[in-house]
Structure 1
Amino acid sequence: MTQATHPTLARTLAPTPGLVRDALLILGGAALVALVAQVELPLKPVPITLQTLAVLLVGAALGWKRGFAALALYLAAGGAGLPVFSGGTGTFLNAEGVIRPSLGFLLSYPFAAALVGWLVQRLALDRKPLGAALAMLVASFVIYAFGLTWLSLVTGLKGQALLTAGLTPFLLGDALKIGLAALLLPGAWAMARKR
């Protein structure tokens, strides 16, 4: 027995199904993340960007399958050398030719987008600000779990030093991004209902 799913914002705004629509939505989601990745506050070892805002919005708007695909496409584009990552870079290596300490955060994006998309589709959490914020907060735990694990592996940081490098500088900004996204989604739904 399958559980009912709620329509995504993208499906509501573009109801005609098809491969072309899905491809454009996936491409658009990847492009949005690439665009906001360029808004960067350089910080070592992991820069502060707007990527997580876009990752959460893409997942919520597209749903879990297309959200995952959009972020997988984003990673593939960067891995292929396109300048889609922060600082206009397009490789999993940093300037010194070493694997990026931020790679764990990047690799988490498809899974975080899929999780927020799944929560939205199953529970319609994107219709109200509190629900949207809750879905995005849960997905943020995935981002931090991947990111901190990788950061510890490549830098050897542990305990408080790891949290100082990979968590503490991001908490306020991520709270603001979740708050903004949690307001944008219900607002977009209100506009969609008027159409």
Structure 2
Amino acid sequence: MSERTVSTAQRGRMLASTIGKPVLFAVLMWLASAAGEISIPGTPVPITLQTFVMMLAGLMLSWRQAGSAVVLYLAAGAAGLPVFAGGASTAALFGPSAGFLIGFLPAVIVTALLRGKARLDSAPHAALTAVRYFGASLAGNLVVLYLFGITIQSMVMHVPFTTVAIASMGFVIGDVIKAVVASLAATGLAKLF
């Protein structure tokens, strides 16, 4: 093979990887919402595994790829495909869970930007990577996502911010557990991505 052929083949693999990873994570977000939901009394937003998939995307992809995955997912729902929790589509972008859906984008980007580079050359470095990943997951998927979600839900439902915030606290324990699992999984899979 000539150098030109090799570089063309390499470019093809890079392009497939660049496009394929966001598509994969967009599909995983849909599967996470299709897998089922758990309702929390006092809030119209259900628990799904979407935030777990978002944490993984933010920890395993570049911020552009992670953001692209979320944009693809949101665009599919906006186009009318039943990809949101409960098989919802476009209407969900204007209802009580709109802030959480819209907040997915800045949340995943913040997570990806804060995670830093994985260092897996020793057990202490791997442990520090997992801790850093955990912190990035909390900053993006708890702080940023909840800020968007609670603020917009408060406005849509005409309910005080603090009331929505208190009702949303039922999600925090589950999201912290998801952050622990996602951080450990992403650290273990860092060499693959």
TM range (shorter): 0.7 to 0.9
For residues 110-140 of structure 1, give each alpha carbon's deviation from its aligned partner in whole angstroms, at most 9, with x where no partner exists.
11111111123xx226852211100101102
2:158 corresponds to 1:153:
no
Query: 1:47-126 to 2 correspondence within 5 Å?
Result: 47-93=46-92, 99-120=94-115, 123-124=116-117
TM-score normalised by the chain length of structure 1 = 0.80
Unaligned stretches of 5+ in structure 1?
1-13
Contact 1:125 1:135 in 2 (8 A): no
Contact 1:102 1:147 in 2 (8 A): yes
For residue 146 of structure 1, what is the amino acid of its counterpart?
A: F
**Shift in Å at residue 42 of structure 1?**
2.7
For residue 100 of structure 1, what is the amino acid of its counterpart?
A: G
Cα–Cα, structure 1 residues 111 and 117, in superposed 2: closer, same or farther, change >3 Å? Answer: same
Contact 2:134 2:180 in 1 (8 A): yes
User: Could you say what secondary structure the match of 1:48 adopts?
Assistant: coil
**Shift in Å at residue 54 of structure 1?**
0.6
User: Could you say what secondary structure the match of 2:90 adopts?
Assistant: coil
Comparing both structures, which one devotes a greater share of its residues to helix?
A: 2
Look up the match of 2:176: 175
For residues 155-191 of structure 1, give each alpha carbon's deviation from its aligned partner in whole angstroms, at most 9, with x where no partner exists.
12115422233x21101111111111011111113x6
Which is greater in Rg? 2
**Shift in Å at residue 146 of structure 1?**
0.5
2:130 corresponds to 1:135:
no
In the aligned structure 1, how far is the partner of 2:12 from the partner of 2:108?
Answer: 23
In the aligned structure 1, how far is the partner of 2:118 from the partner of 2:27?
Answer: 25
- Which of structure 1's runs of 4+ aligned residues deviate more than 6 A? none
RMSD: 2.3
Look up the match of 1:41: 38
Look up the match of 2:6: none
Cα–Cα, structure 1 residues 186 and 139, in superposed 2: closer, same or farther, change >3 Å? Answer: same
Contact 1:125 1:131 in 2 (8 A): no
In the aligned structure 1, how far is the partner of 2:87 from the partner of 2:118?
Answer: 33
Look up the match of 2:165: 163
Contact 1:119 1:125 in 2 (8 A): no
In the aligned structure 2, how far is the partner of 1:82 from the partner of 1:124?
Answer: 35
In the aligned structure 1, how far is the partner of 2:27 from the partner of 2:81?
Answer: 11
Cα–Cα, structure 1 residues 125 and 169, in superposed 2: closer, same or farther, change >3 Å? Answer: farther
Would you say how many aligned residue pairs link Structure 1 and Structure 2?
172
Look up the match of 2:26: 30
**Shift in Å at residue 145 of structure 1?**
0.8
